[in-house]
Amino acid sequence: MFHSSVPLLPKQTGFRLQLLLALFVATSIIGTAAGSQDDQAGDVASAGESEPSPSDVEVAPQPEAQPAPVVPPVTSSERITLEQVDESLNRHPAPGPDQTESREHKALSATRTALREEQTWLSKRAQLAATTDGAEAKLEGFATGLESAVNPSYPDLPEDLDALELLLAQLRRELANAKSRLEVIGSELSGLPEKRLHGVNRTSELEILLRGLGEESSANEFDAILLRARRQSAEAELTLVKLEVSSTDVLRSLITGEQELLRAEITNLEARVEVVTEQTAEQRRLELEAQEKKARQTLRMAALQAPELQKLAEEN
């Protein structure tokens, strides 16, 4: 019979060990079950956070559709153009015979008028700027023309009567145009002081107008566009008027130079017309004499063939 070397525990001690072992096993089973439940609860919570129920989801509000602007957005540095306004007028046509004009169409029509005025001012300013920029070259041209007018040279006159009559008609037209131009620029020269004074006064008026327009504003889109167009028109006119005032002396010099040249040209044209008139009259006389001579010769030839015409031929 096999005998263990470990001494046997008393009966009471063995019972206690069995009790402690049973408690340890029970505690382990309870802890494992609790951990499993916590893990399941965590999974459920995670699932709840990642997949909310339809009732918990908030739908983001969608922005309302905005109507298309009347013109493309315009910043303070941009200008309204006629093309933009015409495009808007296509969406707001004129009323029919029995319809009332809409506020939009009325404002857009006034805007188009203001922009057309602006184009007029800008065009006039461009023309005046070109005149003042080329003033020096123009004055040199007047001086050169004046030197040439002292001793003018002309081609020989034609001998044909028809050519002489055409030349005479052309010279008379040139003379009439030169006299008409001299009268026009004479009025311009005498009107320069008054025009300059008007320009100074108009400058003040436009500056006051622009200050007033700068203080105005409108919440209505169409009225705001009209206000901008009126500002543009006033600004364009102001630049024109200021240039007119500042270029008065240059314009006076140009008019004076043209006057001197025109007077010399008129003198030469009058002399030329007189010469061509005399030559035309002489050529006409010569041609009439040639026609009469030819008629007499024809009559003599006929008299040789008809005795009754011989006496008439002798008389002529």
The answer to whether 260 and 146 are in contact (CB under 8 A) is: yes
Report CA torsion sign: 210, 215, 216, 219: positive
Mean pLDDT of 195-218: 93
C-alpha–C-alpha distance, residues 282 and 148, integer Å:
29
Q: Residue-wise over 33-60: b if at least 16 C-beta within 10 A, else e?
A: eeeeeeeeeeeeeeeeeeeeeeeeeeee
First to last CA, the chain: 199
Write the single-letter amino acid at 154: Y
C-alpha–C-alpha distance, residues 173 and 179, integer Å:
10
Mean pLDDT of 99-108: 82
C-alpha–C-alpha distance, residues 314 and 316, integer Å:
5
pLDDT tens string 51-96: 444 444 444 555 554 444 445 444 444 788 888 888 887 777 777 7
What's the pLDDT score for residue 298?
83
- Average pLDDT of the chain is 80
pLDDT tens string 13-44: 444 445 444 445 445 544 544 444 445 444 44
